[in-house]
Structure 1
Amino acid sequence: MVRFWEYLLIAGLIAVLLVVSHWIGQQAYAWMPLEATAEAQKVDDLFSFLVSIGAFIILGLVAMMVYSILFFRAPKYDYSEGHPSRGDLKLEILWTAIPTLLVLWIAFQGFNIYQQLDVLGLRQIVHLHTPLESQPAYAIATGEKPKPAAETIEVFVKQWDWSFRYPNNVTSNELHLPVNLRTRLNMHAKDVLHSFYVPEFRLQQYIVPGRDIDLVVTPTRTGKYKLKDALFSGTYFALMDANVQVESLEQYNQWLTTAEQEPTTIKNQAVAEYTQPPKTLFKSGWYTVAPNQTAIAQNAVP
Structure 2
Amino acid sequence: MNTRKTLNILTVITGAIAVTFTSLWIGKQAYSWLPPQAAAESHLIDDLISFLVTLGAFIFLGVTSTLMYSVIFHRAKKDDFSDGPAIEGNVAIEVVWTAIPILLVFWIAGYSYQVYEQMGIQGPSQLVHLHNPMGMESAYAATMEDAGTRGHGDTEKELSASPSLPLSASNLEPVEKIDVLAKQWAWVFHYPERDVTSSELHLPSDRRVRLVLQSEDVLHGFYIPAFRLKQDIIPNHAIDFEFTPIRSGEYRLTDSQYSGTYFATMQANVVVQSPEEYHQWLAQAASQKPSPAKNQAASEYAQASTQPVKTGWATVAPAASPLVNYPG
User: TM-score by structure 1 length?
Assistant: 0.89
Deviation of the 1:220 alpha carbon? 1.4
> Are the aligned partners of 2:223 and 2:255 in contact in 1 as well (CA < 8 Å)?
yes
Q: Describe the SS at the equivalent of 2:294.
A: coil
Equivalent position SS for 1:289: coil
**What secondary structure does 2:325 align onto?**
strand
The farther-off stretch of 26-35 and 141-150 is 141-150
2:270 is the alignment partner of 1:270: no
- The 1-side partners of 2:10 and 2:34 are apart by 38
1:171 corresponds to which residue? Answer: 197
Residue type of the partner of 2:321? Q
Partner of 2:285: 259
| Structure 1 position 122, deviation (Å) | 6.2
Aligned-partner residue type, residue 293 of structure 1: S
Instruction: Give the conservation status (yes or no) of the 8 Å contact 2:215–2:233.
Output: yes
Distance 1:280 1:271 in 2: 15
Matched-pair contact (CA < 8 Å) for 2:128–2:142: no
- Please list, as runs of the form range in 1=range in 2, the aligned pairs for 1:245-256 lying within 5 A after superposition: 245-256=271-282
- What corresponds to 1:3 in structure 2? 5
Q: Which residue of 2 aligns with 1:197?
A: 223
Amino acid in the other structure paired with 2:82? S
Whole-angstrom distance in 2 between the partners of 1:50 and 1:26: 11
2:162 corresponds to which residue?
none
Does residue 59 of structure 1 match 2:61?
yes
Code of the aligned partner of 1:287: A
> Taking every aligned residue pair, what percent have the same amino acid on both sides?
45
CA distance in 1, matches of 2:66, 2:307: 57
Aligned to 2:323: 295
Offset from partner CA, 1:151-185 (integer Å, 9 cap, x none): 11111111111111112211111111111111111
| Uncovered stretches (5+) of structure 1, i.e. residues with no partner | none
Amino acid at match of 2:61: L
Q: Distance in 2 between matches of 1:139 and 1:97?
A: 37
Query: 1:238 aligns to what SS in structure 2?
Result: helix
Structure 1 residue 89, shift from structure 2 partner: 4.1
CA contact (8 A) 1:153 1:183 kept: yes
**What is the root-mean-square deviation in Å for CA atoms of aligned residues?**
2.5
**Letter of the aligned partner of 2:191 in structure 1?**
Y
Q: Aligned partners of 1:72, 1:24: CA distance in 2, in Å?
A: 29
Q: Is the 8 A contact 2:181 2:213 kept in 1?
A: yes
Tell me how far 1:225 sits from its aligned partner: 0.7
The alpha-carbon deviation at position 290 of structure 1 amounts to 2.8
Deviation string, structure 1 residues 113-157 (Cα, Å, up to 9, x no partner): 211333479685567533333322024583455445511111111
Q: Secondary structure at the match of 2:110?
A: helix
Deviations 1:89-131 (A, max 9, x none): 4433433333333222221221112113334796855675333
How far apart, in 1, do the equivalents of 2:87 and 2:278 lie?
A: 70
Contact persistence 2:123–2:231 (CA under 8 A): no
> 1:250-280 CA deviation, whole Å, 9 max, x = no partner?
1111111011002455421112222336898
- Does 1:34 pair with 2:62? no
Q: Structure 1 CA distance, aligned partners of 2:22 and 2:307?
A: 53
Contact 1:116 1:135 survives alignment (8 Å): yes
Would you say how many aligned residue pairs link Structure 1 and Structure 2? 298
Question: Could you tell me which amino acid in structure 2 is paired with residue 276 of structure 1?
Answer: Q
Per the alignment, do residues 6 and 195 of structure 1 end up closer, same or farther by CA in structure 2, a change over 3 Å counting? Answer: same
The residue number in structure 1 matching 2:17 is: 15
Q: Distance in 2 between matches of 1:46 and 1:116?
A: 12
Change (3 A) 1:180 1:132: farther
Report 1:67-216 matches (<5 A).
67-119=69-121, 124=126, 128-139=130-141, 142=146, 143-144=149-150, 145-146=154-155, 147=158, 150-167=175-192, 168-216=194-242
Deviation of 1:51 (Å): 0.9
Amino acid at match of 2:285: A
Specify whether residues 133 and 156 from structure 1 end up closer, same or farther in structure 2 by C-alpha distance, changes over 3 A only.
same
Equivalent in the alignment of 1:239:
265
Query: Contact 2:189–2:197 (CA<8 Å) still a contact in 1?
Result: yes
- Supply the distance in 2 between the matched residues of 1:297 and 1:139 (Cα, whole angstroms): 28
Counterpart AA for 1:220 = I
CA distance in 1, matches of 2:142, 2:215: 20
* Distance in structure 2 (CA, Å) of the matches to 1:166 and 1:90: 64
- C-alpha separation between the residues in 2 aligned to 1:136 and 1:256? 26
The normalised TM-score by structure 2 is 0.82
Q: Which runs of 4+ in 1 moved over 6 A?
A: 120-123, 277-281
**Local SS of the residue matching 1:38:** coil
Q: 1:66/1:285 Cα in 2 relative to 1: closer, same or farther (>3 Å)? A: closer
Would the alpha carbon gap of residues 82 and 120 (structure 1) be closer, same or farther in structure 2, given more than 3 Å must change? closer
